[in-house]
């Protein structure tokens, strides 16, 4: 274009500012509103720059791991990139668990880590750690900025990498001299500019879409299985998914990470699948003849024993990450694309393809599914007599009912263990981005800081961490952060005094030898809430439960609700490690039908 | 679909941005995911474009090799990944420096075999030779097997460099 060629060449040098200021400017340009962080010597120049501006808010956490989980909660509930700032050495190493968590669950994070000045790198300087070395397998990508002129470019690129394709955490390691020395500012490249090497494919191949539709229309026993990819793709993907499911009349199940993408009260929804998924979802996966996987990765928690996984189905797999396809389960029709775009393409191709579904076969399939449903695999019995012990399932169910009564927007996060699975089974989600759980890494201590990050992004919403008494102690210090920023997060502890999930495996697989799974000398959670300037509540019997939940919801302060539940309750259904979907153990209501666990299964986690 | 369990060898060429840590990223991917590395070479190529080429000889089932390619391809600084062994004929060569120590008949025999294999003598003393030899991996292996009883003392190999035949480029 002649005009741009004749335009006067920019001859003025780019403006020079201290590196820390260039950094903040780049963050602002990237739309960062909040940073979760913790200061230290190596990042003092950044903290000084933060002090002198108002555009970006800083939330001072109490542990760097929590900063990353908070940023995850922020990112997952908003669809934006979460931003973290930690110091060198121990600040960076403390963040590692959070980074791996974000990597496993595909959450976009940019984590800024301080580093010793460039001339000291490699000298074992005070608070030096090889942060890029340590975080290489813990991130989607990482950078060490060694030249001031690279600083702004690297920050912009980090945001692009974090959110493009399959999202993930990115670390930028920032030596202190780079933060102090003058650096030029360069604006972010336009959104249309191509990255020199990283260009994930978003658009589905038309031929593959046509093959997928042909396979789906030929199905007699179809099954749709969707995961976190649909959530990550955005609201549009969920909307399109609902259309697709309605149009096809097919049954759908969600993974743990995918809950909320499809309304869980809808009759076509079979519940979550996998190790603690519903009987009907798992048997439908096992028995289907055509499987459509959208944005899920055939994780071992979902497939059970691989060689027995859905043995008779033709499989279609849509994933934005090519490496997720044919990793665990060979599929016939791979489609590398964004979930939302692929579903839109399926919808269009579905209408264009004249062949009709075999409605008689589909009706028969639904009959079969309804028989499985009739088993009511999530059934439990709650004794309602005064003084009766609370069943954990009932506590979740009441939490769901009573939060729904308020009509308030509600976000749920969890820790890891039985309570997490009960939350997934008994709390019902009908929107994406309202459910935060550590699925891939299974990080105890995730839920409280994640809820904190959600609350920062949604100050008026009800943010509840469904917790276990063991997990909550892993990041309990964040109660202090909640108090400082008046974040009214609710911690709903299903207190069974055991690491319940560990106890359950010990009961089922290790002869009920409860080795180190009982926590003696637990804190008094009511007093603990009080000492952290929050509200402490406790329910010890079923008649107290509703009042405690109501009081918790009504409070405008952080609350810990200590719900003392049945210590011996186990989480069912359960597909033991190494078992197939049709070898599920059902709960006491169903006579604890069990297939027995193989020796190979014993070795699995 | 059934998984084909047969193992095959693959020569994979990866064009990467020449930046610090890139080799660690690639090697870390292989060790972290339990893939084999039989040979690995890396050097800058394409002056002015700041790119390096990494050649990796690996082995696994076809599913694993596809997986290796996909895993490499999603690394941010990776431009292109090509499985040369699948994408048509290719040339793979490596170079070795081979030190053979010995006297008398063995020494004569070593020299005679070196000539037959077109290995060059790049250093000699009265009781040693250093041969330089370039060729396919199996040719080098065959020569080394012959040298072993003749006083093979030390080997330094470059690993495989590979390129597609004809006009095809990566
Ligand atoms: C950081 C971390 N350490 C250990 C584990 C292994 N683990 C999984 S569940 C669990 C017990 C959790 O106990 P609690 O929080 O009380 O939940 P419950 O199962 O009783 O509901 C443990 C120890 C883990 N997931 N994360
Ligand atoms: Mg517990």
Look at residue B48 in the predicted model and tell me its pLDDT: 81
* Percent helix / strand / coil, chain B, rounded to 5: 30, 40, 30
**Domain boundaries in chain B?**
8-83, 92-162
Query: Reduced to 3 states, what is the DSSP secondary structure of residue A155?
Result: helix
Which CATH superfamily is B92-162 part of?
Answer: ACT-like. Chain A, domain 2 (3.30.70.1150)
A33 tagged catalytic: no
pLDDT tens figures, B103-128 = 999 999 999 999 999 999 999 999 99
Q: Tell me the ipTM for this assembly.
A: 0.93
Which of the listed CATH numbers 3.40.50.300, 3.30.70.260, 2.60.120.1090, 3.40.190.10 matches domain B8-83? 3.30.70.260
User: Within its chain, how far is the Cα of B41 from the centroid?
Assistant: 6
Which one of A133, A196, A323 has the shortest CB-CB distance to B17? A196
Give the pLDDT band of residue A5 (cuts 50, 70, 90). Answer: very low
For the CA of A496, the closest atom of ligand 1 is: 20
Asked if A93 and A130 touch (Cβ cutoff 8 Å), the reply is no
DSSP state string for A349-390: HHHH--PPP-HHHHHHHHHHHHHHHHT-TT------STTPPB
Residue holding tokens 């189905």?
Answer: A313
pLDDT tens, residue by residue, A14-27: 789 999 999 999 99
Average model confidence (pLDDT) for chain A?
95
The pTM score is: 0.95
Query: Is there a cis peptide before residue B62, judged by omega within 30 degrees of 0?
Result: no
Average pLDDT score over residue span B50-76: 96
The backbone torsions φ and ψ at residue A187, rounded to the nearest 5 degrees and listed phi first, read -70, 165
Ligand 1, CB cutoff 6 Å, lining residues: A 415-419, 442-444, 468-471, 494, 496, 498-502
Q: Locate the chain B residue with the closest alpha carbon to A162.
A: B76
Secondary structure letter of residue B49 according to DSSP: T
The secondary structure of residue A338, as a DSSP letter, is: -
Distances (CA, A) of A344 to A206, A239, A243, A295: 12, 10, 9, 14
Q: Evaluate whether B12 touches B70 at the Cβ level (below 8 Å).
A: no
φ, ψ of residue A133 to 5 degrees: the values are -65, -45
- For A491, phi then psi, to 5°, come to -105, 115
CA–centroid distance, A539 to ligand 2, in Å, is 15
Are the C-beta atoms of residues A468 and A500 closer than 8 Å to each other? yes
In which band, very low, low, confident or very high, does the pLDDT at A4 lie, cut at 50, 70 and 90? very low
Structural tokens at position A194: 């191509």
Taking residues A221-229, report their average pLDDT: 98
With beta carbons less than 8 A apart as the criterion, state whether B162 and B113 touch. no
Instruction: Reduce the DSSP state of residue A533 to 3 states and report it.
Output: coil
Helices (H), A445-562: 447-457, 478-484, 500-509, 525-531, 542-554
Q: Is the pLDDT of residue B67 over 70?
A: yes
User: Number of CB pairs < 8 Å for A and B?
Assistant: 52
Residues of chain A contacting residue B51, judged by C-beta atoms under 8 Å apart: none
The arithmetic mean of pLDDT across residues B4-17, rounded, is 93
Helix or strand run (H / E) with residue A184: strand A182-184
Digit-coded pLDDT (tens) for A187-203: 999 988 999 999 999 99
- Decide: A109 and A169 in contact? Cβ < 8 Å: yes
Round to whole Å and give the CA distance between A482 and A491: 11
pLDDT band at B49 (very low <50, low <70, confident <90, very high): confident
CA distance A457 to B120: 70
Q: How do residues A506-554 score in pLDDT, each as one tens digit?
A: 999 999 999 999 999 999 999 999 999 999 999 999 999 999 999 999 9
Cβ contact (<8 Å) for B24 and A325?
A: no
Contact check, Cβ <8 Å, A196/B28:
no
Same fold, B8-83 and B92-162: yes
Closest to A281 in 3D by CA, of A307, A250, A306: A250
pLDDT band for A30, please (50, 70, 90 cuts): very high
Residue nearest to atom 4 of ligand 1 (CA): A444
Which whole number is the average pLDDT over A158-164?
A: 98
For residues A423-451, average pLDDT: 98
């Amino acid at each position: 274009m002649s005009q741009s060629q004749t335009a006067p060449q920019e001859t003025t040098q780019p403006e020079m500012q201290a590196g820390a200021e260039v950094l903040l400017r780049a963050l602002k340009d990237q739309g960062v509103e909040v940073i979760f962080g913790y200061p230290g010597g190596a990042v003092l120049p950044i903290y000084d720059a933060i002090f002198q501006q108002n555009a970006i808010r800083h939330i001072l956490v109490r542990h760097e791991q929590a900063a990353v989980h908070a940023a995850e909660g922020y990112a997952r509930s908003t669809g934006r990139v979460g931003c973290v700032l930690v110091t060198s050495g121990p600040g960076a190493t403390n963040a590692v668990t959070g980074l791996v968590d974000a990597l496993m669950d595909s959450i976009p994070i940019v984590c800024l880590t301080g580093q010793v000045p460039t001339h000291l790198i490699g000298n074992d300087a005070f608070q030096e750690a090889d942060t890029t070395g340590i975080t290489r397998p813990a991130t989607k990508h990482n950078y060490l900025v060694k030249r001031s002129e690279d600083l702004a470019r690297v920050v912009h690129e980090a945001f692009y990498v974090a959110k493009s394709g399959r999202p993930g955490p990115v670390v930028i390691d920032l030596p202190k001299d780079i933060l102090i020395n003058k650096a030029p500012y360069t604006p972010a490249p336009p959104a249309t500019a191509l990255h020199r090497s990283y260009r994930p494919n978003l658009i589905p191949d038309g031929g593959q879409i046509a093959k997928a539709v042909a396979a789906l229309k030929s199905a007699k026993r179809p099954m749709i299985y969707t995961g976190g990819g649909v959530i990550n793709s955005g609201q549009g993907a969920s909307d399109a998914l609902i259309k697709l499911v309605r149009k096809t009349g097919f049954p759908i199940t969600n993974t743990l990470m995918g809950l909320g993408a499809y309304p869980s009260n809808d009759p076509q929804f079979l519940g979550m699948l996998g190790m603690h998924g519903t009987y009907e979802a798992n048997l439908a996966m096992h028995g289907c003849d055509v499987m459509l996987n959208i944005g899920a990765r055939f994780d071992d928690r979902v497939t059970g024993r691989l060689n027995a996984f859905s043995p008779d189905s033709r499989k279609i797999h849509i994933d934005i990450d090519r490496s997720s396809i044919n990793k665990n389960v060979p599929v016939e029709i791979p489609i590398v694309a964004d979930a939302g775009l692929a579903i839109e393409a399926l919808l269009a191709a579905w209408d264009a393809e004249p062949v009709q579904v075999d409605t008689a076969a589909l009706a028969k399939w639904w009959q079969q599914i309804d028989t499985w449903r009739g088993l009511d695999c999530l059934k439990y019995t709650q004794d309602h007599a005064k003084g009766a012990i609370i069943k954990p399932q009932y506590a979740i169910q009441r939490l769901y009912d009573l939060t729904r009564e308020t009509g308030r927007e509600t976000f749920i996060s969890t820790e890891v263990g039985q309570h997490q699975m009960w939350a997934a089974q008994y709390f019902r989600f009908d929107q994406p981005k309202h459910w935060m759980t550590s699925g891939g890494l299974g990080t105890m201590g995730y839920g409280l800081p994640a809820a904190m990050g959600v609350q920062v992004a949604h100050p008026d919403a009800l943010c509840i961490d469904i917790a276990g008494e063991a997990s909550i102690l892993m990041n309990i210090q964040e109660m202090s952060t909640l108090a400082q920023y008046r974040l009214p997060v609710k911690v709903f502890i299903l207190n069974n005094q055991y690491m319940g999930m560990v106890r359950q495996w010990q009961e089922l697989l290790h002869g009920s030898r409860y080795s180190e799974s009982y926590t003696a000398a637990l804190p008094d959670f009511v007093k603990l809430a009080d000492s952290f300037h929050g509200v402490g509540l406790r329910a010890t019997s079923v008649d107290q439960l509703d009042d405690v939940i109501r009081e918790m919801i009504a409070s405008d302060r952080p609350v810990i609700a200590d719900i003392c539940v049945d210590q011996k309750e186990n989480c069912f259904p359960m597909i033991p490690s190494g078992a197939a979907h049709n070898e599920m153990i059902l709960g006491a209501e169903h006579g604890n039908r069990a297939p027995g666990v193989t020796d190979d299964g014993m070795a699995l986690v | 679909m059934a998984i084909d369990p047969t193992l095959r060898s693959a020569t994979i060429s990866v064009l990467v941005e020449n930046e610090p840590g890139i080799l660690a990223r690639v090697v870390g991917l292989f060790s972290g995911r339990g893939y084999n590395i039989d040979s690995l070479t890396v050097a800058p190529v394409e002056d002015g474009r700041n790119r390096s080429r990494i050649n990796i000889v690996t082995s696994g089932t076809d599913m694993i090799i596809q997986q290796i390619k996909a895993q490499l391809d999603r690394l941010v600084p990776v431009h292109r990944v090509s499985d040369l062994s699948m994408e048509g004929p290719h040339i793979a060569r490596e170079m070795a420096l081979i030190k053979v120590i010995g006297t008398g008949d063995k020494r004569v025999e070593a020299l005679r075999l070196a000539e037959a294999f077109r290995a060059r003598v790049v250093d000699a003393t009265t009781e040693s030779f250093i041969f330089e030899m370039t060729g396919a991996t199996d040719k080098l292996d065959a020569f080394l097997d012959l040298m072993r009883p003749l006083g093979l003392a030390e080997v330094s190999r470059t690993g495989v460099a590979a390129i597609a035949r004809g006009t095809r480029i990566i």
